[in-house]
Amino acid sequence: MAVKACLFDLDGVIVDTAKYHYLAWKRLANELGFDFTEQDNERLKGVSRVRSLEILLEIGGLSLDEATKEQLAAKKNVWYVESISTMDEREILPGVKSFFAAIRAAGIKTALGSASKNAMMILKNVGMVQSFDAIVDGNHTSQAKPDPEVFLLGAKALGLNPEDCVVFEDAESGIEAATRAGMRSVGMGSSEHLGQATIVISAMTEMSLERLIALGESN
């Protein structure tokens, strides 16, 4: 099956904002009186803001009412937005720009499939809004990854079938979402977390148009 589109997660795939999310959640955890490690943070990758907070509180052994949870999620977001407000194109991850140039020149469509409600701000700051034929983010979805909704909406916006699309993801929940959407996937990171992906790479610099085409031709 020829690949007709690539659907990209944002945080940890296009830009390294995963670190800013982590630092803001860690700050909140510390304020609440417990520690939050990078290992714990793996569970939050790809997951919505509300669900991330629930996991964080579970790690800290805290149970809070809805109003407090809303306040805490808003507080974390203020810190996070502060970090991303000064981002510029230097924060685009290595290999992303050249891979986009290669696939777009070959007529392959691109879509964003992110859980973040801050996606547009980040894309604007790094100058990548025009790099996508469709943008689906946390403002358009009702189900968080590992639900396949975000990627199915991406394929639909491009007018393509799931089997035409390849998903790029750094989160375990995102790879599961891709699989459930009936799409092939490229896991970005370690096979320890991303073993379910069709292939795993450590950075976009390892990707090429040829490798993408080969992925479409594999079983």
Active-site amino acid positions: 9, 11
Residue 80 is encoded by which pair of tokens? 């996070």
Told to check if 98 binds ligand BG6 by CB under 6 A, we report no
Told to check if 140 binds ligand BG6 by CB under 6 A, we report no
Told to check if 44 binds ligand BG6 by CB under 6 A, we report yes
Closest separation in Å from C-beta 171 to ligand BG6: 6
User: Facing residues of 113 across strands?
Assistant: 136
DSSP designation for 208: -
Judged by CB, which is closer to ligand BG6: 1, or 50?
50
Told to check if 47 binds ligand BG6 by CB under 6 A, we report yes
CA 121-134-75 angle, to 5 degrees, is: 30
Binding mask 4-43 for Mg ion (x = CB under 5 A): -----x-xx-------------------------------
44 binds, among ligand BG6, Mg ion, none (CB under 5 to 8 A by kind): ligand BG6
Residue 131 is encoded by which pair of tokens? 């790099």
Q: Between the CA of residue 161 and those of 77, 126, 144, 153, what are the distances in Å? A: 34, 29, 21, 10
Say if CB 30 and CB 206 are below 8 A apart: no
Selected range binding ligand BG6 among 30-38, 113-121, 148-156, 188-196, rule: CB under 6 A: 113-121
Told to check if 176 binds Mg ion by CB under 5 A, we report no
For 87-136, the DSSP string reads --GGGBPTTHHHHHHHHHHTT-EEEEE---TTHHHHHHHHT-GGG-SEEE
Told to check if 149 binds Mg ion by CB under 5 A, we report no
- The residues binding ligand BG6 (CB under 6 A) are 10-11, 21, 44-49, 52, 77, 114-118, 138, 171
